[in-house]
Copies of this chain bind each other. A is one copy, B any other.
Amino acid sequence: MADLLSVAKRAGVSRATAARAFSSPDLVRPATREKIFNAAQELAFRPNKVAQQLRSQATQMIGVMVPSLDNPVFAEQLQAMEVAARDSGYSLIVTTSEYSPSREGNIVEEMLRQRVDGLVLTVADASNSDVLDKLRMENIPCLLVYNPPGTSGFTSIGVDNLAAGADATRHLIALGHERIGMIAGPLLQSDRAQQRYEGYCQAMKSAGFLPHQLVEMARHTQADLASLKPALQGFQSFSAVICTNDLLAISLIGELQRAGFAVPGDLSVMGFDGIALGQYLYPSLCTIEQPRADIGRTAVHTLLAMIRGESCTTAPLPHALRKGESTGIPASRKSNTGTTQRSTL
């Protein structure tokens, strides 16, 4: 591939002049400039970013690490990040951690070697993370997304998960529900799931109800009805549940319907995240919407500000209750006639 030197030769100038023609066109006489551009054209010259990066000690690249792209929450955030970054002349190196600490470590190390100008990470647990401990020693611009801010010492972009969890709960309470449960992924939950649960507990107590133990599913994004059965039977059975993410909620609704339950007739189901698809289902998913695109954009803009050396303030982004057909008045409040047929479990 043609380099600046060959362009310069062909144009009959020195390499320095050729370089100037691109970086500061006004510093070179128009006629000369023309010759250089022509030569560049003829040789199909393409500036070598790697050389520029080495020389300028800046890569214009952002390292991004998300848990998984199989979850639309992260994919939708990433989509917005890519557009925002490109608009500012930056590229994204994208990696997935699967929440694995060792992968997290390798990924970040790799990105540091690549000399990315900054990092945008979503870690499993920000308050207890090897990779963040390591990053604290470096002084590279670094930002968390979705992880609750505070304990980690890193600025974080996301919603107030505790308030959001409480809002979800209050929505159900306002509908008349009292026996409300919460469903999450496997044992080592993400830090944000914990906060959402905390918000649920607070809202329940404030309303004078007893918060229930978290019901844990075997998988992060797929509900299995068996684990939930006990909580759906008997006198004290739930009339509504909140899932810690939308995929869990959607799959739960599917399982329930397949088993003969009506949603929200027999059980109201709320999600959390607000992935786009939820609106198009029937029943549409009632959920707490995180502004995924806005989070992605804000993350990029905030990081770029940090890279420029500006001090940046960050407040939690607003979440919103997205009403949907998957929640309704509890059966006990309705006239007890005409309820849908429920299969025996």
Chain A interface residues (CB < 8 Å from chain B): 46-51, 53-54, 59, 61, 68-70, 72, 75-76, 78-79, 82-83, 86, 91-96, 107, 109-110, 112-115, 222-223, 247, 250-251, 253-258, 276-277, 280-282, 284
Closest 10 CB pairs of A and B: A251-B280, A75-B75, A257-B282, A69-B79, A254-B282, A94-B94, A69-B75, A49-B114, A49-B113, A254-B280
How far is B92's CA from A96's CA once the two chains are assembled, in angstroms?
Answer: 11
**A94:B78 contact, CB within 8 angstroms:** yes
Contacts of A96 on B, CB cut-off 8 Å? 79, 82-83
Which one of A96, A110, A254, A277 has the greatest number of beta carbons of chain B within 10 Å?
A: A277
**A50:B114 contact, CB within 8 angstroms:** yes
**B282:A258 contact, CB within 8 angstroms:** yes
Contacts of A281 on B, CB cut-off 8 Å? 250, 254, 281
Q: In chain B, what residue has the closest Cβ to A258? A: B282
Partner of A70, one of B76, B93, B115, B280: B76
Could you list 29 examples of A-B contacts with CB < 8 Å? A46-B109, A46-B113, A47-B113, A48-B113, A48-B115, A49-B113, A49-B114, A49-B115, A50-B114, A68-B79, A69-B69, A69-B76, A69-B78, A69-B79, A69-B82, A70-B76, A70-B79, A70-B276, A75-B75, A78-B94, A82-B95, A92-B95, A93-B93, A93-B94, A222-B280, A247-B280, A251-B280, A254-B282, A258-B282
